[in-house]
């Protein structure tokens, strides 16, 4: 029989029993109509150690009976600037592009 070569890493995350946490779903009140909705809070220094420091953006994958929390990688500075620039008016975008052209020595044709 031929062996199958696999270079993929295991898809199972490394989990240690000592790092397991237990939470109880409680509720929060929705202010508009005072309806109780399910909620839980996670807090502790262990979040920092797990890569979830204050201000970290988190993606949540939700499945029946399971949630996977993944920290988002910080957006590269150039992408952040381009996203912010797209919020400018067309006139302001042209001014920015003219400025970039001046500092790079590549003037745009009008």
pLDDT for res 8: 52
In this structure, the answer to whether residues 64 and 27 fall within a common structural domain is: yes
Beta-strand ranges (E) seen in the chain are 26-29, 36-39, 58-63, 66-71
Domain extent at residue 52: 17-71
66 and 31 housed in the same domain: yes
Model confidence at 3: pLDDT above 60: no
Average pLDDT, the chain: 81
Residue 52 CA to residue 56 CA, distance in Å, equals 6
Q: What is the pLDDT of residue 62?
A: 94
Query: Is the model's pTM score more than 0.85?
Result: no
Residues 60 and 98 in one domain: no
């Amino acid at each position: 029989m031929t062996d199958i070569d696999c270079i993929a890493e295991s898809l199972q995350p490394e989990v240690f029993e000592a790092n397991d946490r237990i939470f109880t779903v409680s509720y929060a009140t929705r202010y508009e109509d005072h309806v109780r909705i399910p909620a839980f809070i996670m807090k502790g220094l262990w979040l920092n150690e797990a890569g979830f420091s204050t201000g970290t953006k988190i993606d949540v994958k939700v499945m029946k009976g399971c949630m996977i929390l993944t920290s988002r990688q910080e957006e590269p500075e150039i992408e952040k600037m381009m996203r912010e620039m797209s919020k400018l008016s067309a006139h302001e975008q042209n001014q920015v592009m003219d400025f970039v052209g001046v500092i790079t020595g590549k003037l745009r044709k009008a």
